[in-house]
Chains A and B, each alone.
Chain A
Amino acid sequence: MDNTMAYSLADFNYNDNPDVLSPPADFEKWLSHPGVQAAFSLFEQPLMSAPVIRTEVINNFDHKRRKVINLTSYNYLGLCTHPEVIAAAKAALDKYGLGASGAALLSGTFDLHIELASKLAAFKEKEACVLFSGGLAANMGAIQGLLRKGDVFIMDEKCHKSLIDGGTLAQARMLFFAHNDMDSLVMMLEKNKGVRTMVAVEGVYSMDGDLPKLKETVEICEHYHAAIYLDEAHSTFMFGKNGRGIGEHFGVEDRIGIVFGTLSKVLGGVGGFVCSKASTIRYLKCYSSPFQFSCALPPAIVAGVLKALEIATRDSTLRDKLWENVAYFRKQLLDMDLNLGDSASQVIPIIIGSSGEKLLSMALEIQKRGLFLQPVDFPAVPANARRFRLSVSSALTKQDIDEACNIIHDVIAVGLKN
């Protein structure tokens, strides 16, 4: 029996090909399988216009250009095409040109960068903020800047690869506690008493959409004198009465030592930021490769993000609309008996089970019907919980949601019953 489809990207990391530039021989063979090619066709499909709700995509599997309802882009508050954001970016393009032409440390810092860092720090109620040119770079750079060889870095097992990469770069000893399991966290802290320790959790887990047990985590970490790193990539600007994020939502933001967020989701641009005490940020900058040796954010992006920050936080209108859409979407999906896991956010998984073949055939069909909803397969998620992952946006209309749900019903709900 051909079990080619049982293999995944988790199986081809090791490479003993004597030519370093060549992939492993069995990887090429695996790639040539029609089923694997069909799965790969879902990667790098080009969007032909902005990542808004109604956009156009060229599907790789048949090379057709389709008008789609977009439930995959992270444009959570619809700000990446907001007219004020575009106007701010255009004005900055005219004034500053295209790129920063240098790393932030030496020549790439502009007045706009200082303004954005200062406003982000003020918003997050921390003393200082450092900007990075990418979200992944920010996590890696922050961990590299602070942890040293022999330090203990304890993460929730569902933490993002960027945190793991940061731990690897810092040569920290990494431990992963069972997801949201406080006993598991306590056991690891107990075993490493007396060692410099940082604990990382996420505001919204990116594949499950669930929240951390943040209050309990904070109390435990304070008891063990462990620092807390809160990754708010998918939660900042959306949660909390004032949109300050999950820390505010749980009433513990002043007890979180260091917080991370991105500029690429709600704020519609690209990049990442880290906020903490001024002394922490000053020191971190000195030992962070992505800060010191990577070109700074383009000024036009920074200008657009500054405007997006202002719009996202001027009042709760956009957040309220987002949560209204989340509630409406969830109700319809639950009425179809779909498994949404423990999602409590704008990230909603539709868990279909352990069949990679079923996931793939549904994924292709869904996109043929004009819904840009990407599947998430093993190893990004557990093999027995493969899924689709919806990103709800405040920009969705009721009609968008109804149309999307019709397609989801016809392809996924019906498909799962058969």
Chain B
Amino acid sequence: MDIAQNKARIVEVIKENIVKNIDGVNKADIDIEKSMKDYGANSLDIIEVVSCSMRELNLKVPRSELTDIKNIAELADKFVQYLN
């Protein structure tokens, strides 16, 4: 898979976990230029979405490197860097 395909797959996984963990969000409506906070997630929800996504994708980004992530797209980009 090339980077674009990887990112697309990662975005899908993140979106599915957002829908599972944050009430009232439709997968089709998720704009990846927004942050999870914009969809009503609190910090605990975000930790859960990130953890579940990393496990499904079999990667482990140090949480200390997620501090400056501003939106879902940047999260996916970070995951791409760590994809084995």
Contacts and interface: CB of A to CB of B under 8 A. Distances in A.
B62 A8 contact: yes
A26 B55 CA distance: 13
Given A174-B44, A175-B42, A384-B68, A14 B55 contact: yes
A22 interface: no
Contacts of B67: 378, 382-384
B6 interface: no
A11 interface: yes
B64 interface: yes
Nearest to A178: B37
A121 to B, nearest CB: 33
Nearest to B65: A6
Interface in A36-85: none
Nearest to A379: B63
A11 B62 contact: yes
Query: Which interface class (under 10, 10 to 19, 20 to 34, 35 or more) fits A?
Result: 20 to 34
B64 A378 contact: yes
Given A383-B67, A384-B67, A176 B62 contact: no
Interface residues of B, number: 13
A10 B55 CA distance: 15
Interface in A1-20: 3, 6-8, 10-11, 13-14
A275 to B, nearest CB: 28
B35 to A, nearest CB: 12
Interface in A170-199: 174-176, 191
Given A14-B55, A176-B42, A176-B43, A26 B60 contact: yes
Contacts of B42: 174-176
B51 interface: yes
A384 B43 CA distance: 17
Given A14-B51, A14-B55, A6 B64 contact: yes
A384 B68 CA distance: 9
A175 to B, nearest CB: 5
A356 interface: yes
Interface in B30-51: 40, 42-44, 51
A157 B43 contact: yes
Nearest to A16: B55
Contacts of B44: 164, 174
A68 to B, nearest CB: 29
B15 to A, nearest CB: 20
Nearest to B67: A383
Interface centre among B42, B60, B65, B68 (most CB of A within 10 A): B42
Contacts of A382: 67
Contact of A356 (B40, B51, B64): B64
Nearest to A174: B42
A3 B80 CA distance: 17
A356 B64 CA distance: 10
A8 B51 contact: no
Given A157-B43, A175-B42, A6 B62 contact: yes
A198 to B, nearest CB: 15
Interface in B45-76: 51, 55, 60, 62-65, 67-68
Contacts of A191: 40
Given A14-B51, A14-B55, A384-B68, A8 B63 contact: yes
Contacts of A164: 44
A3 B64 contact: no
A413 B62 CA distance: 28
Contacts of A174: 42, 44
25 contacts: A6-B62, A6-B65, A7-B60, A7-B62, A7-B64, A8-B62, A8-B63, A10-B63, A10-B64, A11-B60, A11-B62, A11-B63, A14-B55, A164-B44, A174-B42, A174-B44, A175-B42, A191-B40, A356-B64, A378-B64, A379-B63, A379-B64, A383-B63, A383-B64, A383-B67
Interface of B: 40, 42-44, 51, 55, 60, 62-65, 67-68
Q: Give 6 nearest A-B pairs by CB, closest first.
A: A10-B63, A383-B64, A6-B62, A383-B67, A7-B62, A378-B64
Given A11-B60, A164-B44, 13 more contacts: A6-B64, A7-B62, A8-B62, A8-B63, A11-B63, A157-B43, A174-B42, A176-B43, A191-B40, A356-B64, A382-B67, A384-B67, A384-B68
